[in-house]
Amino acid sequence: MKQEFLLPDLGEGLTEAEIVQWLVAEGDTVTLNQTLAEVETAKAIVELPSPHAGVIASLHAAAGDVVAVGAPLVGFEIEGAEPTTPVPSATAVEEGSGPNLVGYGAAPSSGRPRRRARRAAAGTTTVVAADADVRVAAPHDAIDVQPSPPVRGERPRSTPPVRAYAKGLGVDLALVAAELGDRVITRSDVDAYRERLTQRAAGTAAAPGPATAVQTSEPVRRRTEAGERATTRIPIRGVRKHTAEAMVQSAFTAPHVTTFHTVDVTATSELIASLRATAAPDSPRIGVLTVVAKAVCLALAHFPGLNARWDGEAGEIVQQHFVDLGIAAATDRGLIVPVIRDAERLTLGELAAAVAELTRTARSGKTPPADLLGGTFSLTNIGVFGIDAGTPILPPGQTGILALGAVRRMPWEHRGEIALRDVMTLSLSFDHRIVDGAEGAQFLKAVADVLQEPGRAMLLA
């Protein structure tokens, strides 16, 4: 009997997901919890496990399609089963009554099925240009620059960041694997393949047939009397779309105030150097972000307004006596802010380990959606880009976010004399509905005092 599998409701307020790649094809036999596809939500790339054991009867979307939550995704032929429409809810997983769905991990599969190549629509030419996937509808006699994908067997061997990188460039890893053979595909392999494809495309730029539609992230060029001018169109989707919506909501909901403080952090630099010199080889690396995170957790206990949220419906300010610390992470897919739960309970070493793990997961695109929710205060380290200060926007629902500037060696007054010192600027943005200027300044000063004299942490603990 046939059963339809709908795109699951992740329970995180997400309404759609993009199909990154299918790992099965119509006619394949799959087992329960075998991974069907990788899907990209507004927050993460996750694996979609099968809710049934049976045969894939139909795939209702192609790679690159954006599918609404609750829309049909896969049709199954299940021997002896009554035709039903499953309810794709994460709640069922938590209760143990269903398969592992998105965000909850999938049981390991004994092997991957063979996958058939996706067919392009009739009369469509696909050209992968320098930085883009350019699809131009053209007559049937147009030249197809990108070679037809071979019939696929095993999934191309690569890491999640490389798959995301290739996807962003419009490069099909199956085609790269067909040229390279059976080995792990790297970013340089993707770049080299894209360059070869670009050269092929340049040789067929005059292919017959008028273009009727263009969807591209490659600059569209036109000649004018002033010379060549260009524009670039980039689809707004995934993390960037979610981040944009969240930032607009925050900026026009909470009245932002930003205050700055430049502090001598030489003692913190010396502390970090000392800890690294005596640490075991496999110990997590402690850096300035870790020390600031610890200082923030200590200071929030004394300034609860910065760790509160505005409940307009109830007419209340809710102070939270725990710290779920958000750490802004720049990824290839955009900015995300994963959360370290109960950060105030962690030692300096445990915070360092948590930050390292959070960063690795974010860069791989595998941060679970649940880990991006519920932060109470956030940090953003703009210093890694060589920036001294900024005016960070609050993550929705939070009252404070602290930006760390670059640590610079510069002349500074020290004990009545001018000396070379390590100096850093802290930028604190806060919700002026909850925190007034005095409290914001006092909190920032408390954090700065710990960085200036790490021994002061004992006074705040």
CA-wise closest residue to 355 among 421, 297, 439: 297
**Cα 47 from chain centroid?**
15
Q: Which amino acid is at 26?
A: E
Dist CA 54 CA 7 (whole Å)? 18
Dist CA 101 CA 263 (whole Å)? 48
Dist CA 441 CA 308 (whole Å)? 16
Phi then psi for 301, rounded to 5 degrees? -65, -25
What SS3 string covers 17-79?
A: EEEEEECCCCCCEECCCCEEEEEECCCCEEEEECCCCEEEEEECCCCCCEEECCCEEEEEECC
Calculate helix-pair angle for 173-180, 160-169, nearest 10 degrees.
Answer: 110
Catalytic residue numbers?
A: 432
Tokens at residue 180, please? Answer: 């390279």
